[in-house]
């Protein structure tokens, strides 16, 4: 971590909040790891101590780029996992995750000492780190490997995120020619993955740690802007915070807390670009957060806020009624105050706050799954998460015009002989995509900000921002997209390039004689829609050829991409 990052790390924390994600500068002790865990049993403690001693011995002769003992890395990873509330096997895997790849310890030895579950997690993390491609190919393969591994057990991905987090805190010691590549991969893959997992704190740290390696000048500019803006508003925001605390207490509100959240540097940089670098148009560099016991308290607090200060029109967002795709819930409102000018206020329950900070990890602790949770429980949760994570990448086997519905629940099989069905669908969806197209498609469909729209029947569908009716049609079903001849938004006919907004009610009009044209490629926002459009145009062109020419074209193309891809799908471990 550079001196500039050290200087602004504590500065960027919310007032009064103790950040658990501290940058390790020494070897973390086993006592610190156990202290960060939530009520570990004697068996848990024994497992962690054994893994600690095993990893310490395995890494005893290894050092990092900085010259420090390598063992400081797995201990830091394990502590992060403990702070996230992960179970003992996951924390143990954090301690052991580099032993197979770096020290020559065999996977069989890991299983012999620690059992099959820990071996499975270590093996999964090891496989994610083995690919050595560079640039777009590396990104594409990394994404594919992450999705495949996560389908089996999302804990594999959480260990990998904790591993990458600690590596980013010591990025300054990596050779300069590698720093930017690692930072870009972190920003383009790991930060969005943390976001889609709902781990907001980790997403922010990834972005701000990668930022200076990617664009040092822009990073310095964002630091100065945030410092200036915060200096202007700090005293006034503290008065607003105190005034709201008094108002809540007078109304009989109990067990609430308030804190001031400071915007991340990368997020600020992105917003400055959207606002033409006009600092006066940015009102959420520092926001007031209110945490209350119940959902009813959230809406009562919102009423108090609007009674105290005038709300700005169009700036209220109800993420409690309409959660973000990653599960984030909160009320956001922006008000005009006399003490601090325009202020954003976020209102949520403690449970919502924990989920906003720790995401899916908050559902994978002992409290949620129970201490006797089997690997099957984690697998079931992982499968549900990954299907929600990539909704636009899966082919929906529904009648044209029907909104996608969840599939009937099936009993999890402990040892499936074949890859799960969703994985075959995912491979089919991407089989025809070249490497660059795959990466761009994932960035647009999977990692972008989202917008929520409704079908006429009231089904909610989320799409990337800037999506059009064409994207919605293909998100529902490829046949609906291929035969779309019109669209209505909120009851009015619109053009195909109309940008959809939150809350729009969208009806897709279908006609069998309609078919995609090249112009549709300009209207489509998602990679999935563009792939379907190109496929339909190509299929129509081949169908219009004489039979002999059509056969020659198809023969030249060889086996379909889906068939080729199925051969490459790995069996589940």
| Shared domain check, 337 and 280 | yes
As a whole-number percent, the residues of the chain with pLDDT over 90 amount to: 32
φ, ψ of residue 452 in degrees (nearest 5): -105, 125
**CATH at residue 405:** 3.10.20.30
On whether residue 363 sits in a domain, the answer given is: no
Backbone angles phi, psi at 403, to 5 degrees: -75, 150
Q: What does residue 11 show for φ and ψ, rounded to 5 degrees?
A: -60, -30
Is residue 179 domain-shared with residue 327, that is, in the same domain? no
Indicate whether 195 pLDDT > 90: no
Overall domain count for the chain: 3
Q: Which helix (H) or strand (E) holds 291?
A: strand 286-292
Q: Are residues 203 and 221 in the same domain?
A: no
Distance, in Å, from the CA atom of 562 to the CA atom of 472, rounded to the nearest integer, reads 23
Q: Is residue 163 situated within a structural domain?
A: yes
Query: How high is the pLDDT of residue 150?
Result: 54
Under a CB-based contact definition with an 8 Å cutoff, are residues 138 and 167 in contact?
no
- Which of 32, 45, 68, 102 is labelled catalytic? 102
Question: Residue 217: is its pLDDT beyond 80?
Answer: yes
Residue 569 confidence (pLDDT): 39
Domain membership flag for residue 417: yes
Residue ranges making up the domain that contains 25: 3-214
* Residue 308 DSSP SS3: helix
Q: Is residue 55 in a domain?
A: yes
Domain-embedded: residue 380:
no
| Mean pLDDT score, 483-499 | 93
Q: Is the pLDDT of residue 471 over 60?
A: yes
Higher pLDDT, 151 or 554: 554
Is pLDDT above 50 for 7?
A: no
Whether 202 and 140 map to the same domain: the answer is yes
The whole-number average pLDDT for the span 178-183 is: 88
CB neighbour list of residue 494: distance below 8 Å, 6 or more residues apart: 469, 487, 488
Single out the residue in 214, 242, 267 at which a domain terminates: 214
Residue that terminates a domain, selected from 185, 214, 243: 214
Whether residue 422 contacts residue 474, with contact meaning beta carbons closer than 8 Å, is answered with no
> Pick from 179, 214, 249: which residue ends a domain?
214
Residues 341 and 487: their CA atoms lie apart, in Å, by 42
Looking at 67-71, 220-224, 257-261, 284-288, which range is the least confident one? 284-288
| Whether residue 116 sits in one domain with residue 132 | yes
Read off the pLDDT of each residue in 361-373 and give the average, rounded to a whole number.
47
Among the listed residues 101, 141, 232, 497, the single catalytic one is 101
Give a yes or no: residue 62 inside a domain: yes
User: Is residue 342 in a domain?
Assistant: yes
CATH number at residue 186: 1.10.3210.10
Q: Do 460 and 563 fall within a single domain? A: yes
| CA atoms of 467 and 391, how far apart (whole Å) | 15
Flag whether 520 is in a domain: yes
Say whether both 48 and 168 belong to one domain: yes
Q: Does one domain contain both 326 and 424?
A: no
**One domain, residues 402 and 498:** yes
Q: From CA 19, how far away is CA 359, in angstroms rounded?
A: 16
In this prediction the pTM is: 0.63
pLDDT at position 475 is: 85
Same domain, 238 and 264: yes
Catalytic, 102? Answer yes
Give the CATH number, domain containing residue 275.
3.30.460.10
Do residue 399 and residue 502 come from a single domain? yes
Picking from 211, 202, 331, 330, the residue whose alpha carbon sits closest to that of residue 269 is 211
Instruction: Identify whether residues 99 and 167 lie together within a single domain.
Output: yes
């Amino acid at each position: 971590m550079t001196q500039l990052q050290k200087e602004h790390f504590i500065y960027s924390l919310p007032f009064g909040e103790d950040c658990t994600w501290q940058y390790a500068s020494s070897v973390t002790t086993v006592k610190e790891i156990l202290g960060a865990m939530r009520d570990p049993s004697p068996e848990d403690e024994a497992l962690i101590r054994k893994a600690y001693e095993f990893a310490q011995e395995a890494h005893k002769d290894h050092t990092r780029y900085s010259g420090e003992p390598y063992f400081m890395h797995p201990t830091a990873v394990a502590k992060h996992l403990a702070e996230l509330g992960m179970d003992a096997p996951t924390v143990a895997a954090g301690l052991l995750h580099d032993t197979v790849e770096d020290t020559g310890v065999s996977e069989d030895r890991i299983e012999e000492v620690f059992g099959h579950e820990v071996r499975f997690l270590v093996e999964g993390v090891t496989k994610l780190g083995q690919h050595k491609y560079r640039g777009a190919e590396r990104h594409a393969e990394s994404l594919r490997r992450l999705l495949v591994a996560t389908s089996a057990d999302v804990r594999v991905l959480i260990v990998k995120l904790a591993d990458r987090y600690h590596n980013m805190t010591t990025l300054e010691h990596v050779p300069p020619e590698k720093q930017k590549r690692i930072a870009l991969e972190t920003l383009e893959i790991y930060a969005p993955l943390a976001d889609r997992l709902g781990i907001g704190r980790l997403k922010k740290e990834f972005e701000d740690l990668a930022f200076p390696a990617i664009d040092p000048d822009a990073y310095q500019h964002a630091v100065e802007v945030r410092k200036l803006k915060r200096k202007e508003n700090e005293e006034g925001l503290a008065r607003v915070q105190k005034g709201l605390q008094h108002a809540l207490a007078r109304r009989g509100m109990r067990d609430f807390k308030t804190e001031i959240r400071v915007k991340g540097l990368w997020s600020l940089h992105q917003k400055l670009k959207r606002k033409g670098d006009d600092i006066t148009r940015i009102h959420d560099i520092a926001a007031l957060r209110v945490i209350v016991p119940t959902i009813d308290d959230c809406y009562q607090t919102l009423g108090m806020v609007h009674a105290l200060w005038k709300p700005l029109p169009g700036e209220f967002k109800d993420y409690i009624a309409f959660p973000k795709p990653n599960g984030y819930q909160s009320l956001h409102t922006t008000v005009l105050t006399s003490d601090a000018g325009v202020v954003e206020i976020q209102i949520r329950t403690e449970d919502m706050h924990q989920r906003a900070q720790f995401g899916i990890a908050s559902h994978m602790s002992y409290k949620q799954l129970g201490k006797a949770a089997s690997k099957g429980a984690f697998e079931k949760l992982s499968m549900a998460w990954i299907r929600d994570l990539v909704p636009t990448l899966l082919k929906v086997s529904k009648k044209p015009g029907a909104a996608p519905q969840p599939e009937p629940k099936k009993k999890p099989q402990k040892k499936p002989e074949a890859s799960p069905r969703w994985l075959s669908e995912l491979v089919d969806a991407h089989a025809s995509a070249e490497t660059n197209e795959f990466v761009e498609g994932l960035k647009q469909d999977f990692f972008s900000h989202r917008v929520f729209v409704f079908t006429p029947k009231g089904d909610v569908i989320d799409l990337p921002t800037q999506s059009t009716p064409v994207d919605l049609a293909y998100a529902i079903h490829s046949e609906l997209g291929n035969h779309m001849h019109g669209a209505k938004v909120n009851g009015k006919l619109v053009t195909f390039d109309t940008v959809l907004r939150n809350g729009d009610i969208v009806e897709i009009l279908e006609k069998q004689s309609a078919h995609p044209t090249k112009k549709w490629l300009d209207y489509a926002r998602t990679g999935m829609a563009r792939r379907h459009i190109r496929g339909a145009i190509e299929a129509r062109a081949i169908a219009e050829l004489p039979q002999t020419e059509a056969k020659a074209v198809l023969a030249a193309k060889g086996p379909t991409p889906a068939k080729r891809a199925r051969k490459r799908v790995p069996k589940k471990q």
